[in-house]
Amino acid sequence: MANKTFKLNTGQDIPALGLGTWQSAPGEVKEAVAYALKAGYKLIDCAYCYANEEEVGQGLAEAFAAGVKREDIFVVSKVWATYTTRCELGLEKSLQKLGLDYVDLYLVHWPLLMNPEGNDDRFPKLPNGERDIIRSHNHVDTWKQMEKLVATGKTKAIGVSNYSKRYLEQLLPHATIVPAVNQIENHPALPQQEIVDLCREKGIHIMAYSPLGSTGGPLFTAEPVVKIAEKHGVKPATVLLSYHLPRGSTVLAKSVTPERIKENMNLIDLDGEDMKLLNDYSDKLTKEGKLQRFVYPPFGVDFGFPDKS
Ligand SMILES: NC(=O)c1ccc[n+]([C@@H]2O[C@H](COP(=O)([O-])OP(=O)(O)OC[C@H]3O[C@@H](n4cnc5c(N)ncnc54)[C@H](OP(=O)(O)O)[C@@H]3O)[C@@H](O)[C@H]2O)c1
């Protein structure tokens, strides 16, 4: 199942499963990346903001030395918010750290601009401690820069991340290139169905992040997840990752623990009954206003997500 792929609107194949690298600490992430690639992972999800791309690059180099071929893997990186007026520079910095000539997919990490001349390369702050955000910036202008990157050959495809339905509807009328991907937080406690449906209609592939609920896997004890795991004799993590296959989405699982990296490759086929249980759970949380969003940086910007607007 880990070898399953989906087709992007560019014609590229994108693996159904990828290794996440957010919060993968220095001293751990090189080994995690090398281990995952040697074990058969084909996609590594990176970002300039994670401040570990150099070590991810060392992991890639170790895997290449062990026989993994660059053309057989899919590497994703993202332009950070302090670079959304300088996308090519952002991409070049990531490529240099990763030790690559190109990435397979480059995403706009969040649709905003933080002060490129602020007091920090990644998280500039104002004297009052708030994030230094340039509120006059239009995210469509970032996309226009992203479109120019494809011709440079430094990325095979471009896409977005953390785009709500509202933001996509602002972007798409101006897009010469339709984003190949929208990478969003996605799991049964945050199905974001309105985004998934719009993306399907427009040919934009969903990459699901924080599928386990992020740090510590807080969704492992959700009742339907436990029930389905018992039925199939698998771990709750397997159910949460497998949920994305019938939805037609790529799922990103972060781990720096070899046994878990391996275990997370064992995606299973969930049947109609399983998916109904999980969808009913999502509907119940939606109705009760109890959806859970685990990743929402304190930008103080309304990105158009219904649970946050
Ligand atoms: N575009 C964005 O804005 C954005 C935002 C968030 C995430 N992402 C991407 O999506 C990736 C995944 O999301 P995430 O890192 O937030 O969280 P996640 O993958 O939902 O969960 C990671 C946590 O679950 C643990 N874990 C992993 N596999 C497990 C297993 N089989 N059993 C028990 N625990 C397990 C990990 O621990 P150990 O590592 O200690 O094993 C870690 O604490 C990120 O790494 C990143 O690449 C993108």
- The tens digit of pLDDT for each residue in 115-134 reads 999 999 999 999 999 999 99
pTM beyond 0.75? yes
Enumerate the known binding-site residues for substrate. 109
Does residue 183's CB lie within 6 angstroms of at least one atom of ligand 1?
Answer: yes
What pLDDT shows up at residue 2?
65
Task: Give residue for tokens 């109904």.
Answer: 276
Ligand 1 closest atom vs CA 237: 31
Q: Is 188 in the pocket of ligand 1 (CB under 6 A)?
A: no
Q: Residue 1: what pLDDT?
A: 62
Our mutation pick for probing the ligand 1 site, out of 52, 122, 210, 243, counting the most ligand atoms within 8 A of Cβ, is 210
The answer to whether the CB of 45 is under 6 A from ligand 1 is yes
Q: Which residue has the CA at smallest separation from atom 45 of ligand 1?
A: 20
DSSP string, 141-201: HHHHHHHHHHHHTSBS-EEEES--HHHHHHHGGG-SS--SEEEEE-BTTB--HHHHHHHHH
Residue 296 CB partners (closer than 8 Å, separation 6+): 308
pLDDT tens digits, one per residue of 207-248: 999 999 999 889 999 999 999 999 999 999 999 999 999 999
Is a pLDDT exceeding 90 seen at residue 55? yes
- Evaluate if residue 271 carries a pLDDT over 80: yes
Active-site entry in 50, 106, 163, 167: 50
Distance CA 212, CA 171 (A): 29
